[in-house]
Amino acid sequence: MLPTLAELRSALNEGRATSLKLTNAALARIADPAGEGVRVFTKVYSGQARAAAQASDLMRGAGIARSAIDGLPVSIKDLFDVAGETTLAGSVALQGAPAAKEHAVIVRRLLAAGAVIVGRTNMTEFAYSGLGLNPHYGTPLNPWDRATGRIPGGSSSGAAVSVTDNMAVAAIGTDTGGSVRIPAALCGLTGFKPTARRVPLTGALPLATRLDSIGPLAASVACCAQLDAILAGDDAPLPTPARLRGMRLALPATIVQDGMDTRVAAAFTAAVSRLSAAGVLVEDLPIPEFDELASINATGGLSSAEAWTWHRDLIKRAGDSYDPRVLSRIQRGETMSAADLLELLQARQRWIAAVEQRIAGYDALLMPTVPMVAPTLAELADDKAYYRTNALILRNPTFINFLDGCALSLPCHAPGEAPVGLMLAAAGGRDRDLLSLGMAVEACLRVQ
């Protein structure tokens, strides 16, 4: 099992480790020619990371620890601004564009908390896919069944593999339609998508500002809660585990369980049984609004509309440099009219109100994060298979982005088996309640 932030913090406080040793070990794994580092990172901050680690060790020696992540190696997705650098977002089309004048808000908050930022992680170009493929910088391979060559999930692909391969103890990604939760699920990690307004987006290259959110991938729910508090600037006491017995979880009876492969179905069913045995009331709940989402987004959806607005001038100049599969999805927004967008925004507000009313009596929604285990890269070589698989993997997480909700994905598979994610989700603003519930669910599922 991966070390948690709490375990590493204890090692630092007790003198069993130093930030410099942890950072050097992470950098060595990134640089290992036999490892995934060349595909995981688009830029590595070796010198800055070592300097930050040494500073952390000096401050800790003086009895000063700035936060739960002080001195710990952390990676950031390649769409966050770092002062003096061009933010590429996994592309080559932006090479030569002006450098950022200041750090993204979340980068400033990480640095103020003492995080040792080891580098920028690879991603689906411009964050527009749930699969994690990148033809420009290579695709990081999923740690499960790496010899076969399986996808890591996206768009925060490098973020996930940086943690699974101990190149960072945690990673910061973004989630517009599942881009934190999908790689967490497929790679066996915990990922948290907060309510979109909880963490400032300033300095993050957008995909769809009405859907974008910033969240962590890490070893546990408690790790995600600690990171979320730093990213959100939340000084309140951290959430503590909820009492499971008597909790009411709604298992949507609409769409979310369709098409599950046998491994996901077995792991998810076993997890639900364990929760029920622990006194959780799991109830099937029809949510007909989930059936309506495809027709609501039929003209292209918010992601296409907003992405086209941001990218249209760049596409005119450098469209040939885009991943064609990403380009085709962005270009769907070109045909959307102002009337289409206004109707979509109005329909979304009605949809949110209806879903929130339907789930109001429950502590959270419960569903598989994605209905399949990680497919192989070879299976996605054909465009039809690529688009079909992408839509299926994005399906469940996207419901929660459109809801403007918050969600956790945590592992529910048995040790040694293919990674499977279980998703807990709630309406917007219930982040702390969801993290408390997630800690309790995690403890229940980890008991063997």
Give the residue numbers annotated as catalytic, written as ranges: 77, 155, 179
Q: Which residues neighbour 223 within 8 Å (Cβ) at sequence distance 6 or greater?
A: 4, 5, 6, 170, 190, 216
As separate numbers, helices (DSSP H) first and strands (DSSP E) second, the chain gives: 15, 11
The position carrying tokens 């490892």 is: 35
Distance CA 129, CA 70 (A): 32
Count CB-CB contacts under 10 A for residue 382: 11
The stretches of 278-382 forming alpha helices (DSSP H) are 288-296, 301-318, 324-330, 338-359
The position carrying tokens 């768009």 is: 155
Instruction: Please give the structure tokens belonging to residue 202.
Output: 């300033």
Burial 76-96 (b: 16+ CB within 10 A, else e): bbbbbbbeeeebbbbbebbee
CA torsion sign for 86, 217, 200, 397 is positive
Longest dimension (CA), the chain: 62
Could you say which DSSP state residue 376 is in? B
Distance CA 371, CA 399 (A): 14
